[in-house]
């Protein structure tokens, strides 16, 4: 029995460890909120009923490329609004999971281009790896619902997702 418990404890204690690219451990900046109850599945009528939030895509285009910081032209107020967690309510519906890659870094704002919607609407993406989420404007693209999606640079940065790797995110409709 002891032989079975020790490996489990060792794995659990290492589960929270993560090294940065330079081999150092990143500082602890907060806690991951407990997972909320899964929202109900969204329908086409749910998507049609919710309009996108224009303040999330109203950042100026970047002047010159260089770093992720120079390309992210969103304001501190926009980042705070996008990061603000929401409480699930009757208008919060689950759209599904999708694998995201970096969309055009010169398109400002918080958005997700995805085949999970058929019209522009408001939503939220959550990185299940760390629990961080961002409000986004959901923009339809052609393809099967199982197809991949493209996410804006500011949204990827806000949920601490890699800018160069593929990341699976959970997508919900938020009104």
* Local confidence band at 36 (pLDDT 50, 70, 90 cut-offs): low
Q: Which residue has the tokens 């794995």?
A: 11
Query: Which pLDDT score, from 0 to 100, does residue 34 have?
Result: 59
Q: pTM of the full predicted structure?
A: 0.60
Comparing 71 with 35, which gets the higher pLDDT? 71
Q: Which residue has the higher pLDDT, 102 or 81?
A: 102
The span from the CA of 61 to the CA of 39, in Å, is 34
| C-alpha–C-alpha distance, residues 8 and 2, integer Å | 10
Q: What would the two tokens of residue 144 be?
A: 């099967």
Burial class of 159 by CB neighbour count within 10 A (0 to 12, 13 to 18, 19+): buried
pLDDT tens for 49-94 read: 877 777 776 666 665 556 667 677 787 888 888 888 766 655 678 9
Structure confidence by residue, pLDDT tens digits, 148-168: 999 999 999 999 999 899 999
Q: What is the number of other CB atoms lying within 10 angstroms of the CB of residue 158?
A: 24
Give CATH for domain 50-173. Answer: 2.40.40.10
pLDDT, tens digit (0-9, with 9 covering 90-100), for 122-142: 999 999 999 999 999 999 999
Question: What span, in angstroms and rounded, lies between the C-alpha atoms of 65 and 72?
Answer: 10
């Amino acid at each position: 029995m002891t032989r079975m418990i020790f490996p489990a404890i060792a794995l659990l204690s290492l589960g929270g460890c993560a090294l940065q690219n330079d081999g150092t451990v990143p500082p602890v900046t907060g806690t991951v909120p407990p997972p909320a109850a899964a929202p109900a599945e969204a329908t086409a009528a749910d998507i049609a009923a919710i309009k996108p939030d224009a303040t999330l895509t109203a950042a100026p285009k970047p002047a010159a490329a260089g770093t992720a910081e120079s390309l992210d032209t969103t304001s501190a107020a926009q980042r705070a609004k996008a990061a603000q967690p929401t409480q699930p309510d009757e208008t919060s519906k689950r759209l599904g999971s999708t694998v995201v890659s970096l969309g055009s870094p010169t398109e400002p704002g918080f958005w997700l281009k995805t085949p999970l919607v058929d019209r522009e609407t408001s939503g939220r993406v959550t990185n299940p790896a760390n629990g961080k989420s961002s409000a986004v404007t959901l923009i339809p693209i052609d393809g099967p619902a199982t197809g991949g999606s493209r996410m804006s640079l500011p949204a990827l940065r806000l949920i601490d997702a890699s800018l160069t790797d593929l990341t699976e995110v959970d997508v919900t409709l938020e009104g």
